[in-house]
Amino acid sequence: MNISKEPYLVTKPFLPPIEEYKKEIEKIWETNWLTNSGPLHEKFNKEIKSYLNVKESTLFVNGHIALELAIKVFEFPKGSEVITTPFTFASTTHAIVNSGLTPVFCDIKLDDFTIDAQKIESLITEKTVAIVPVHIFGYPVDVYMVKKIADKYNLKVIYDAAHSFGVKIDDVDIGNFGDISMFSFHATKVFHSIEGGVLTYGDEKLKNRLDLYKNFGVNTPDSVDIVGINGKMNEFQAAMGVVNLRYVDSEINRREKIINFYRENLKNIAGIRYLEDKIFLKHNYAYFPIIVDEKKFGITRDILHEELKKYNIFTRKYFYPLITDFGCYKGLYETSHLINAKHISDRVLTLPLYTQLKESDIDYISLAIVKIQQNL
Ligand X SMILES: *Cc1c(COP(=O)(O)O)cnc(C)c1O
Binding site residues, ligand X, CB under 6 A: 62-64, 88-89, 91-92, 134, 160, 162-163, 184, 186, 197
Q: How far is CA 239 from CA 236, 270, 329, in A?
A: 5, 46, 38
Q: By C-beta, is 197 or 228 nearer to ligand X?
A: 197
Buried b / exposed e over 295-304, threshold 16 CB at 10 Å, is: eebbbebeeb
* Amino acid residing at 329: Y
E-assigned strands of the chain? 56-60, 81-84, 102-105, 128-132, 156-160, 168-169, 172-173, 180-184, 197-201, 218-220, 223-224, 272-274, 281-282, 289-292, 348-350
Q: By C-beta, is 88 or 200 nearer to ligand X?
A: 88
Q: By C-beta, is 328 or 367 nearer to ligand X?
A: 328
| Cβ-proximal residue to ligand X, closest one | 63
Give the number of other CB atoms < 10 A from CB of residue 314: 15
Report the nearest approach of ligand X to the CB of residue 208 (Å): 23
Give the helix, strand, coil percentages of the chain, each rounded to 5.
Answer: 40, 15, 45
Q: By C-beta, is 149 or 286 nearer to ligand X?
A: 286
Closest CA to 62 of 194, 241, 216: 194
Report the nearest approach of ligand X to the CB of residue 353 (Å): 14
Closest CA to 180 of 150, 224, 225, 149: 150
Beta bridge pairs of residue 183: 198
The three-state secondary structure class of 70 is helix
Q: By C-beta, is 63 or 103 nearer to ligand X?
A: 63
- Per the CB < 8 A criterion, the answer to whether 259 and 287 are in contact is no
Q: By C-beta, is 184 or 335 nearer to ligand X?
A: 184
Report the nearest approach of ligand X to the CB of residue 86 (Å): 12
DSSP 108: B
- List Cβ neighbours of 109 (8 Å cut-off, separation of 6 or more): 115, 116, 340
Report the nearest approach of ligand X to the CB of residue 182 (Å): 7
Give the number of other CB atoms < 10 A from CB of residue 154: 8
Q: By C-beta, is 184 or 324 nearer to ligand X?
A: 184
Q: By C-beta, is 239 or 369 nearer to ligand X?
A: 239
